Amino acid sequence: MKKNEKKEKKLLKKMNAEKEKLANKKPFKEKVKIAGKTAKEYFIKDTSKMIILVAILIAVYLVVNLWVTNIPLAQIDLTSGKLHTLTDQSKSIAKNIEKEMTFYLWQYDEGSEVVDLLKQYQAQNDKIKYEIISSDDAEKISKYSLETDYPQIIGIASDGRTSYISSGDLYTYDDSYNVVDLAEQKLTNAIVNLASTESTKVYFVEGRTTYTLSGGIYYLSAYLSEEYYEVDSFNIVSNPTIPEDCDILAIMGIQTDFTEAEANAICDYIEKGGDIIITNDINYVDTTISYPNFQKILDEYAISMPNKLVVDGSEDNQISGYNLVYQAEVASDHEITKVLYNSKSVTPLLVAPGMLELDTERMATENITASPILTTSTESYVADLSGKKLEENEDGYYVTAAAVQKMVESGDESRAVIIASTSSFSDNSLDGEYPIIAYNSDVILNSFAFAGNRGELYSIRKSQSDTPFVATEEKDKVVRIVIYAVPFAIAALGICVWLNRRKLK
């Protein structure tokens, strides 16, 4: 009996507690109303407390603003072409970087496009940092030889590897003279090269060639140096031996044929798995000329390069005002050209191109794979050196550049890029202002990257002509709220406070 009484009392106590809890529970709206009334009486009625509240709100705002300012956040990109947003390609590269690196910026401020991009790289990987050099930092100004009015970006990796980018490297122009933004391309390639642990040594053959480092391909050598190739040359006439540290051998245009000993040295280099770049122009002086020892080198890849001019009859590929200069058709699926094919911002220009003939039967039996990378349209034809069509030829498609891979006896692979035009990558100018290589730098640099098996040189181009602000419906609402709603809300709040204070007086 006593046990039952205890249980009943316990149960009754619990029920009373629940009733009391329910009695004290008020609806949410009523709680808000009570809180608002309390705030009015506590703050609005009392001027001193109101001043304290405003001071607290201002202090919180300043603290939050200072905190956000110190966070390396990138700006919101509202341009239709996403000019200021990293591509997935760059994000993927940045995420996989394992080496610490810092980009020092001279004469750039926090609001610049370059800083905005570097914040985005840093968001992907905190090993990528940046620092703005101030005019008071005499040590760094002296160390990097910085000059007033010459903005510079210097990338330094943890192992001392260095990258220099000048402001002029950050943009170029497309065929319609629209500005093409190269900032992301240059920064991404700088990051890739800073992350690398090896250098690639390029030797240009001199003594038999039309173009040399001191005359004809100066800009090409400069471009290669900027991409962290070690560039040098050797005279094959005085010493018919390929340097032991040669990673890529470059033959840029034939002036006189090689001797048998010189050709044998180059063929031996290829048979050991050496990589090579070969270009040659049409010989306008002697239309019947042949270079048997040069052909012996080309035979290593089952390719010949006849002294025949190719004219592209397609109006889409002809360049108005320039004779024998054509836009090339680029391969869509090869690593040298696929980024160019997809971006379509700047098409390589061919100057008086010749042709390549590929011996596919020999290639099939000799472990050689060739991929056309630059071609003409199907409206092209072989012409005499004046550009007049040879009657016996029908319109067709011609290969003007090919990437070749050959398995040699040792089991190594020799890579080659062979192009039937040297002028297209020379210091020569079409307009008297820019060297022709300025239009073709991507394809030739990608060719060296392929030959040296360095992976892709990333060609990320964004045209300024495609970047006006075009707001989506959602963005438009956000912009309108920020511009109109927020100020009106603040003004309305101020009026309400003023009215309430008048009522309470």
Q: Do 134 and 267 fall within a single domain?
A: no
Q: What CATH code is carried by the domain that includes residue 169?
A: 3.40.30.10
Count: domains in the chain: 3
Tell me, yes or no, whether 138 and 267 share the same domain: no
Q: Are residues 175 and 301 in the same domain?
A: no
For residue 52, being part of any structural domain is answered with: yes
Per the domain annotation, does 436 fall within a domain?
yes
Render each residue's pLDDT in the chain as its tens digit; 505 residues: 455 566 566 666 666 665 555 555 556 566 656 666 665 565 555 566 556 666 676 776 666 666 555 555 444 444 444 456 888 888 988 999 999 999 999 999 998 999 999 999 999 999 999 999 999 999 999 998 899 888 999 999 999 888 888 887 787 665 566 777 888 888 988 898 888 887 789 999 999 998 999 889 999 999 898 777 899 999 999 999 999 999 999 999 999 999 999 999 999 999 999 999 999 999 988 888 899 999 999 999 999 999 999 999 898 898 888 888 999 999 988 988 887 776 655 688 999 999 999 999 999 999 999 999 999 999 999 987 777 787 666 778 899 999 999 999 888 999 999 999 999 999 998 877 789 998 898 899 999 999 988 765 555 656 555 433 334 445 445 545 555 555 566 556 656 655 665 555 5
Write the CATH number for 436. Answer: 3.40.50
Indicate the residue among 19, 41, 71 that finishes a domain. Answer: 71
Based on the fold, state whether residues 63 and 116 are members of the same structural domain.
no
Burial class (CB in 10 A: 0-12, 13-18, 19+), 67: exposed
Q: How far is CA 201 from CA 128, 246, 332, 378, 458, in A?
A: 27, 6, 29, 38, 20
**pLDDT value, residue 181:** 81
Same domain assignment for residues 290 and 363: yes
DSSP annotation of 410 reads T
- The answer to whether the CB of 152 falls within 8 A of the CB of 144 is yes
For 358, left (φ over 0), alpha (ψ -120 to 50), or beta?
A: beta
Q: Of the residues 11, 39, 71, which one is the last residue of a structural domain?
A: 71
Sign of the four-CA dihedral 321, 324, 329, 334:
negative
**328 and 448, same domain (yes or no):** yes
Residue 471 lies in a domain: no
Q: Are residues 193 and 203 in the same domain?
A: no
pTM of the model: 0.66
Tell whether 421 and 451 lie within a shared domain: yes
The first and second tokens of residue 486, run together, are 């927020």
Which of 49, 71, 93 is the last residue before a domain boundary?
Answer: 71
Nearest to 79 by CA among 414, 465, 441: 465
**Whole-angstrom Cα Rg for the chain:** 35
Q: To which H or E segment does residue 150 belong?
A: none
**Is 184 among the domain residues?**
yes
Does 228 lie in the same domain as 192?
Answer: no
Residue 191 lies inside a defined structural domain of this protein = yes
What is the span of the domain harbouring residue 39?
27-71
Answer yes or no: do 433 and 298 share one domain. yes
10 in any annotated domain: no
Tally Cβ neighbours within 10 Å of residue 357: 15
Tell me whether residue 40 is in a domain.
Answer: yes
Residue 461's contacts (CB-CB under 8 Å, 6 or more residues apart) are: 180, 181, 182, 185, 343, 345, 346
- Domain co-membership, 167 together with 210: no
Domain-located, residue 347: yes
Same domain, 363 and 248: yes
d(CA 69, CA 46): 35
Beta carbons within 10 angstroms of residue 250's beta carbon:
27
